[in-house]
Chain A
Amino acid sequence: MKRFAFFELIVAFRFMRDGLTQTLLIILGVGLGGGVIIFMSAVLAGLESNVVRRTLNFLAPIVILPPEQVARPLRQAGPAGVAAQVQPRSQQLRSIDQWQKIRDQVERTHGVIAVAPVVSGPGFALRGDASRSVTITGIEPETYFRVISLDQKIVAGRITAGPTDITVGTELAKDLGAEIGDKLRLTTASGANTTFTVTGIYDFGNKGVNARNVYVPLRSAQSLLDLTGGVSSMEVRVSDPFAAERVAESIRASADLQVDSWIRTNAEFFTAMAAQIMTNTLIRVFVGLTVALGIASVLVVSVIQKSREIGILRAMGTSRAQILRVFLIQGGFMGLAGSVLGSILALGFLLLWRSVAKNADGTPMFIIEMEPWLFMTAAIAALLVGLLAAVVPARRAARLDPVVAIRS
């Protein structure tokens, strides 16, 4: 008996030591269950953050656009009244009205980190005989980098703000056979065209984006797309990408504009992710239930096995509350010890996963963060599951009639 230890702790641990095999087996069971939960959670969190990170590489969490143009049929006198068929109006490239004022207003919105004005429109990139359809994106580099980290994706040259400087993706550079210092011409549907010098080549890790987007200074794009002084959109970075829709709603409420969050524009991705989270949660719940039932069954058996001892302890003046705590401690300990074992197992699995799940070039398939909070959460959850699982057997033990228990 450990000196100066508490009564409940002493009795609980002696009971567990007495049934050492079943105690170890249930701890192993809890450990395996906990390990699976931690491993799955870490892998799915890694997968999720990886997909999110890759998506938000080239996509702003929120994009503000001018309001959609709608057809307004004229009411006519007479029986015709309203035209039977109204064709939807084609959407012209146009500027956000009073965009500077709106930018300042959005910057003050809670959760917004940065706002970048952008002029964006379709065009063609031509070099020699080669031409490619592109999206011309006019940016103010310093402001834009706060939203999209284009500067960190440069693989050749650099982004400069000269009026004829252009940054293209690796795919487009390859298609046009362009290198740093080469000239290429951008033309638009209106016939405007400008010759640019390739000063930077980026790689977002996405073939489509690398082939499509070209970045030029804001003023150059305004001139090319006939949007002098205006911007076609504003891209917004928020502190929590998953709260983007909430922030978008608050922007929407304050201005008559189209405000699209990446959550809305990637609805399918989020539906898939939600399904995955739900599946993961269900698995966790069922594993947790299995663990709880395992602990509860061991303790129920223990209460039966220890009935006489419980009766003796009650006869000696042990209160019902003390007996209750003896079994709650056992449940809590089994949960906690199991979670420690589970954490070790999960850590081992995760390290194994890291060494196995690699791309062809040897880089990790995706980064799994071994977050301490995950292990802490698992430990607390296991402790709670253990305690909850022990409630019924503990109450049963506490309610035992000492006379009946001693005779048992």
Chain B
Amino acid sequence: MPVAETLRLDGVRKSYAVGTPVESEVLHGIDLVLERGEFAALIGPSGSGKSTLLNVIGLLDQPSAGHVYIEGQDAGSLDDDVLTRLRGRSIGFVFQHHYLLPEFTALENVMMPALAAKGREDEAMRATAAGLLDRVGLTPWLNSKATHISGGQQQRVAIARALAMSPALVLADEPTGNLDTKSADSVFDALRDINEASDTTFLIVTHDPRLAQRCDRIVELVDGRIVSDRPNTNVVRRS
């Protein structure tokens, strides 16, 4: 597999047991490749399997069949510890709800992935986290508790946290779903800016066609199948 590929899915299927021996297949053989630096939207109606696909790509869930390659590495062949390390190193998550750790400040939340990876804190880690928060415009709120800042700011902290380990791939599950239009635009601008300034690949799940139009590529999932995968020729770069 060429190194330029951040993600490759080969025939990924995912089933859930809904009662012995009945199984319900949610993903029906997904094939997908994301090149380094791509900024792609994953759209589709509710229940189409977007979140399940994101969990499988994010190595939070195992596919029932098929292969997931992250930067050329077949995740199916890895044990839990290696998988966890790969996830921490290569994948950043931005959820619909920010899911910051309420016990920690904005800076500490952003430091957390690196802290978990290295085991103990160091100055470089702190500087990197502060730099990321600066990049999303949150320098004044570095030491504010995660619960003491606005929803838009919390989501931007979550973006900074997702970038803490300089991951190859950022998975965002409706990152603006809980925000008003202005905050949503601001958060999306932040994602776009980071993508343009780095070669980080983004896969963004969204229901919002307006935001999907701001992505370079739009992948549409319906009933667990990719029904459309097209480049977006009319990208709206800025809000």
Contact = CB atoms under 8 A, between A and B. Distances in A.
Interface stretch (A5-13, A116-124, A207-215, A378-386): A5-13
A312 to B, nearest CB: 5
B104 A317 contact: no
B121 A318 contact: no
B85 interface: yes
Interface of chain A, helix or strand or loop or mixed? helix
Contacts of B58: 315
Interface string B103-116: 11100100111011
A1 B108 contact: yes
B87 A6 contact: no
B88 interface: yes
B19 interface: no
A315 B103 CA distance: 17
B236 interface: no
Nearest to B99: A312
A4 B121 contact: yes
Given A14-B103, A316-B112, 13 more contacts: A3-B121, A6-B120, A7-B116, A7-B120, A15-B103, A309-B103, A317-B84, A317-B165, A319-B84, A320-B80, A320-B84, A321-B81, A402-B60
Given A317-B89, A403-B55, A4 B120 contact: yes
A256 interface: no
A4 B60 CA distance: 29
B188 interface: no
Interface residues of B, number: 35
A2 B89 CA distance: 24
Nearest to A314: B84
A108 interface: no
Contacts, number: 81
Nearest to B167: A317
Q: For B61, B81, B85, B103, which residue has the most chain A Cβ atoms within 10 angstroms?
A: B103
Contacts of B108: 1
Interface in A298-332: 308-309, 312-322
B93 to A, nearest CB: 5
A18 interface: yes
B122 interface: yes
Given A4-B121, A15-B103, A18-B103, A315 B87 contact: yes
Interface of B: 55, 58, 60-61, 80-81, 84-85, 87-89, 93, 95, 99, 101-105, 108, 111-113, 115-123, 126, 161, 165
A201 B211 CA distance: 106
B53 to A, nearest CB: 12
Contacts of A2: 121
Q: For B89, B101, B108, B113, which residue has the most chain A Cβ atoms within 10 angstroms?
A: B101
A200 B68 CA distance: 98
Contact of B99 (A5, A10, A308): A308
A240 to B, nearest CB: 48
A309 B147 CA distance: 14
Contact of A5 (B87, B102, B121): B121
